[in-house]
Chain A
Amino acid sequence: QVQLVQSGAEVKKPGASVKVSCKASGYTFTDYHMHWVRQAPGQGLEWMGRINPNSGGTKYAQKFQGRVTMTRDTSIGTAYMEVSRLRPDDTAVYYCARDKDSSSSPDFDFWGQGTLVTASS
């Protein structure tokens, strides 16, 4: 069965970086794009970007370009999302999500359990 298992909660000081992992199992990792979505406390969902695990190619939301880096390690079926220069308003639950068709119109059929990142001094 398809599973996406994310790394544990993180507490970081403003200005630091955080790297969240998402380990995929139950399917061929390189066959599906992986996206990242975040949700601030009590707020809605916000798309951050995606990585093509096969090529390593990335596409970021304009808001996060230059501050977010998505990578992958195909040998262990894991995607990573790093946010640099953290600000307090980056405090959120970060989700990885698999794109069902890896098409131009994404739809996310499997999600990780979420990773709470807290940016606070």
Chain B
Amino acid sequence: QSVLTQPPSASGTPGQRVTISCSGSSSNIGSNTVNWYQQLPGTAPKLLIYSNNQRPSGVPNRFSGSKSGTSASLAISGLQSEDEADYYCAAWDDSLSGYVFGTGTKVTVL
């Protein structure tokens, strides 16, 4: 069972803005930075956001991250068909002394 909770699904039409939440606790999100990964069907995950709100080189600025207290969010603005994928938040957990992933959110472009 993951200690980071995400909604199982989210959807939107092309061009819309979609937001995914990630709820944790003081031992993970509350005290460490949050990363987001995108996993396209049948492929390895890809780092989308690191250190709460930083985009690696090559990631479109349509993707943005934020963190407040023990929760974090990923926003996708100007949704595109190629954004259809699973999205996972992740953070280090001090209590578990390990890295934890969120439950994952499947984004569907209608």
Nearest 4 Cβ contacts at the A-B interface: A111-B44, A47-B99, A107-B50, A45-B101
Cβ–Cβ < 8 Å partners of A59 in chain B = 97-98
Kindly state the separation between the CA atoms of A75 and B102 in the bound complex, as whole angstroms. Answer: 36
Could you tell me which A residues sit within 8 Å of B by CB distance?
35, 37, 44-47, 49, 59, 61-62, 95, 97, 100, 104-109, 111-114
A104 touches B50 (CB 8 A): no
A47 touches B100 (CB 8 A): yes
Q: Is the interface of B mostly helix, strand, loop or mixed?
A: strand
Listed by A's residue number, 10 A-B pairs whose Cβ atoms lie within 8 Å are A45-B88, A47-B99, A59-B97, A61-B99, A62-B96, A105-B33, A105-B91, A107-B35, A108-B47, A109-B47
B62 within 8 A of A: no
A105-B32, A105-B91, A109-B47 known; 14 new pairs, CB 8 Å cut-off, are: A44-B88, A45-B90, A45-B104, A47-B98, A61-B99, A62-B98, A95-B45, A100-B47, A105-B33, A105-B51, A106-B92, A107-B33, A108-B37, A112-B44
Which of A104, A105, A108 touches B45 (beta carbons < 8 Å)?
A108
Kindly state the separation between the CA atoms of A67 and B97 in the bound complex, as whole angstroms. Answer: 18
Kindly state the separation between the CA atoms of A44 and B86 in the bound complex, as whole angstroms. Answer: 9
A45 touches B45 (CB 8 A): yes
Kindly state the separation between the CA atoms of A109 and B46 in the bound complex, as whole angstroms. Answer: 7
